[in-house]
C-alpha cells in the first residue's frame, strides 16, 4: 500500500490508510496505544461498500464508524509502524 504524504494536511501527524476491500482512504492518528482517531474524507458510505450495506440494513451511521476491512488495515498499518503514536 502506498501512503501519499501530499494528501496529508500540512502540520498534521495523521497518516493515510486505505481500506483493502473498498479502497476508501482515511486519515489515521494514534494518540496512545489504546486510542486511534480516524477521519473520513467525504461520505464513508458513498465509498465503502461494507458501510453502505450496513446502513442499508438500518444501522445508524454513527454506530458504524468504519468497516471491518478498514479496521484490519489500520491495525496492520500500526503493526507495520506506518502509524505511530503522536
Ligand atoms: Zn471498507
In a domain, residue 40? The reply is yes
Average predicted confidence (pLDDT) for the chain: 78
Residue-number span of the structural domain to which 50 is assigned: 5-80
Measured CA distances, 12 to 2, 8, 27, 31, 72 (Å): 18, 7, 10, 12, 23
Selected residue with higher pLDDT from 55 and 76:
76
Note the pLDDT tens digit of each residue in 18-34.
988 888 888 898 888 88
Query: How many angstroms is it from 1 CA to the middle of ligand 1?
Result: 15
Q: Residue 70: count other Cβ atoms within 10 Å of its Cβ.
A: 26
Q: Which pLDDT band, with edges at 50, 70 and 90, does 65 fall under?
A: low
The whole-number pLDDT of residue 39 equals 82
How many domains would you assign to the chain? Answer: 1
The whole-number pLDDT of residue 72 equals 92
In a domain, residue 12? The reply is yes
Query: How many angstroms is it from 64 CA to the middle of ligand 1?
Result: 11
In a domain, residue 53? The reply is yes
pTM value? 0.68
The residue whose grid cell reads 482517531 is 37
In a domain, residue 31? The reply is yes
For residue 6, is pLDDT > 70? no
Query: How many angstroms is it from 21 CA to the middle of ligand 1?
Result: 5
Amino acid at each position: 500500500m502506498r501512503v501519499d504524504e501530499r494528501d496529508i494536511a500540512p502540520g498534521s501527524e495523521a497518516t493515510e490508510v486505505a481500506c483493502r476491500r473498498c479502497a476508501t482512504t482515511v486519515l489515521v492518528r494514534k494518540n496512545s496505544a489504546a486510542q486511534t482517531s480516524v477521519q473520513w474524507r467525504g461520505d464513508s458510505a458513498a465509498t465503502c461498500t461494507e458501510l453502505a450495506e450496513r446502513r442499508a440494513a438500518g444501522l445508524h451511521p454513527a454506530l458504524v464508524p468504519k468497516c471491518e476491512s478498514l479496521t484490519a488495515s489500520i491495525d496492520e498499518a500500526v503493526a507495520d509502524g506506518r502509524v505511530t503514536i503522536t
